[in-house]
């Protein structure tokens, strides 16, 4: 049985991502209180896999998680895109007028800003995880408190949903990475997507040279993210995702990028199957 680390507890969106990606596999969830703890477990090989949220269509990229992937030298072996539907849930027998405070993860709160703004009299408090907030309310039978979490969390902990689908944008998706220790030699039999990391010299036109190579070869760049390098003002690490139909084009792209004088330290963070196309 595989051990899979997630941020959060049973019933959270990370749990749903595990269920979607590891269909038909027996696994044991290792619940982590933070993304750093998740990364630590994967890096120490205390678990077989980790599942880590990386970006959301409303709240954007979780920059800290890119930094953790680099810091702990973790390898991306897959991805899964999950529809995210947030619900307001309470200990049974209450109405919205009874609610004085809402608990949820900061990213979930960002994704439900319009609903929260429409109930400005209710206090908002950040919690370590959406499902953990629901679990806390259920275990302690807390009245006057509500959680923003998934329908699975409501079912798991016996809470009553007052409002469904309170996310600001109906089509709300989160992308999750499947990660392993980089020393693991397991290889993907087939991949058509890659995540790359590189640094470039702080000179005019440096980034445009990199982007031109990717474009001229005909490879589709689906994401570019810059993250400041700590203690080196105005210098950045770039994270790029590319999708390709021909692996030879991909190899040619990497070779040409490495030959550009302005590029420093190109790293392949992972080569995997495009998660937008599920077989």
If we measure between CA atoms, which residue out of 207, 220, 208, 211 comes closest to residue 250?
A: 220
Domains contained in the chain, CATH given: 2-83+172-181 (3.40.190.10), 87-163 (3.40.190.10), 194-270 (3.30.70.260)
Q: Which token pair is 65?
A: 């998680």
User: What DSSP element (H or E) covers 153?
Assistant: helix 151-157
- How far apart, in whole angstroms, are the C-alpha atoms of residue 156 and residue 150? 10
Tell me the pLDDT tens digit for each residue of 22-62.
998 999 999 999 999 999 999 999 999 999 999 999 989 99
Tell me the pLDDT tens digit for each residue of 92-146.
999 999 999 999 999 999 999 999 999 999 999 999 999 999 999 999 999 999 9
Q: What is the DSSP letter of 200?
A: E
Q: What is the DSSP string of 27-62?
A: EEEEEESSHHHHHHHHHTTSSSEEEEEEEETTTEE-
**Beta-bridge mates of residue 22:** none
Q: Token match 């919690």: residue?
A: 127
- How far apart, in whole angstroms, are the C-alpha atoms of residue 161 and residue 150? 10
Report pTM. 0.90
For 94-110, letters b (16+ CB in 10 Å) and e give eeeeebeebbbbebbbb
């Amino acid at each position: 049985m595989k051990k899979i680390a997630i941020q959060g507890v049973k019933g959270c969106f990370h749990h749903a991502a595990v269920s979607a990606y590891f269909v038909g596999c027996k696994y044991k969830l290792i619940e982590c209180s933070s993304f750093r703890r998740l990364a630590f477990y994967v890096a120490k090989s205390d678990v077989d896999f980790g599942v880590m949220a990386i970006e959301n269509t409303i709240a954007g990229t979780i920059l800290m998680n890119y930094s953790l992937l680099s810091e702990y030298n973790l390898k991306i072996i897959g991805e899964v895109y999950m529809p995210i539907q947030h619900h307001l849930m309470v200990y049974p027998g209450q109405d919205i007028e009874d609610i004085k405070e809402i608990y949820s993860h900061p990213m979930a709160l960002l994704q439900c800003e319009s609903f929260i703004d429409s109930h400005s009299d209710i206090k908002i408090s950040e919690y370590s995880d959406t499902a953990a907030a629901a679990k806390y309310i259920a275990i302690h039978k807390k009245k006057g408190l509500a959680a923003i979490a998934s329908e699975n969390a409501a079912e798991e902990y016996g809470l009553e949903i007052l409002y469904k689908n309170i996310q600001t944008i109906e089509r709300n998706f989160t992308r999750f990475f499947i990660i392993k220790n980089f020393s693991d030699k397991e290889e993907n039999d087939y991949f058509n997507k890659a995540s790359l990391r590189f640094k470039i010299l702080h000179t005019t036109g440096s980034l445009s040279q990199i982007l031109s190579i990717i474009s001229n070869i005909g490879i589709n760049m689906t994401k570019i993210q810059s993250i400041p390098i700590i203690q080196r003002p105005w210098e950045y690490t770039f994270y790029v995702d590319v999708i390709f139909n021909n692996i030879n084009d991909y190899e040619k792209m990497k070779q040409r990028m490495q030959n550009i004088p302005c590029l420093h330290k190109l790293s392949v963070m992972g080569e995997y199957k495009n998660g937008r196309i599920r077989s």
